[in-house]
Amino acid sequence: MTQEWADGIEPAMLALGEVALVDRGSGPALLLLHGNGRTWQDWLPQLQTLPDRFRCIAYDQRGFGESTLNEDLLSLVQLADDAAGVLHRLGIEHAYVAGISMGAQVAQILAQRYPHRVDGIVLGGSPYLPADAELPQGQEVIADLGSMDDEQLRAYAEASIGRLKQGGTTSQESTQTERDAVFEQFREMRDDPAVARLSRRRMCPEDLRRLQDYEHLDVPTLLVHGEADMLPVDGAVQMSRRIPGAQLAVLPGGGHIANGEPTAALFDQAVVEFIATRSSAGFSRSSCEPRSSGDAQAQHP
Alpha carbons 204 and 67: distance in angstroms, whole number: 22
Contact 24, 47 (CB under 8 A): yes
Asked, for residue 81, whether it belongs to a domain, the answer is: yes
> Which is nearest to 74 in space by CA: 210, 208, 211, 199?
199
Residue 248 lies in a domain: yes
- Does residue 237 sit within a domain? yes
Q: Is 229 part of a structural domain of the chain?
A: yes
Residue 16 has φ and ψ, to the nearest 5°, of -130, 70
Per the domain annotation, does 153 fall within a domain?
A: no
Record the pTM. 0.77
Residue 25 burial by Cβ neighbours in a 10 Å radius (0-12, 13-18, 19+): middle
Which pLDDT value is given to residue 9? Answer: 63
Q: State how many domains the chain has.
A: 1
Under DSSP, the state recorded for 175 is P
**21 domain-assigned:** yes
Q: How many C-beta neighbours within 10 Å does residue 162 have?
A: 11
| CA 233 and chain centroid, separation | 17
Confidence at residue 291, expressed as pLDDT on a 0 to 100 scale: 33
How far apart, in whole angstroms, are the C-alpha atoms of residue 18 and residue 60?
A: 10
Q: Give me the torsion for CA of 261, 155, 197, 80, rounded to 10°.
A: 60
pLDDT tens, per residue, the chain with 301 residues: 334 444 556 555 555 567 899 999 999 999 999 998 788 999 999 999 999 999 999 999 987 888 876 656 678 999 999 999 999 999 999 999 999 999 999 999 999 999 999 999 999 999 898 887 765 443 444 456 667 888 888 887 777 666 555 444 344 455 677 678 778 767 776 776 555 555 445 567 788 889 999 999 999 999 999 998 878 899 999 999 999 999 999 999 998 899 999 999 999 999 999 999 987 665 545 333 333 323 333 333 3
Asked whether residue 10 is assigned to any structural domain, the reply reads yes
Which residues are CB-neighbours of 141 under 8 A, at least 6 positions away?
A: 36, 201, 202, 203
What pLDDT is recorded for position 231? 83
What are the start-end ranges of the E strands in 95-217?
95-100, 118-124
**Residue 75 CA to chain centroid, in angstroms?**
13
Q: Would residue 82 count as lying in a domain?
A: yes
Q: Which CATH number is 243's domain given? A: 3.40.50.1820
Angle at 150 between CA 104 and CA 199, to 5 degrees: 45
Neighbouring C-alpha atoms within 13 Å toward the C-beta of 115: 16
Query: What φ, ψ does residue 247 adopt, rounded to 5°?
Result: -105, 155
What domain range includes position 273?
6-132+205-287
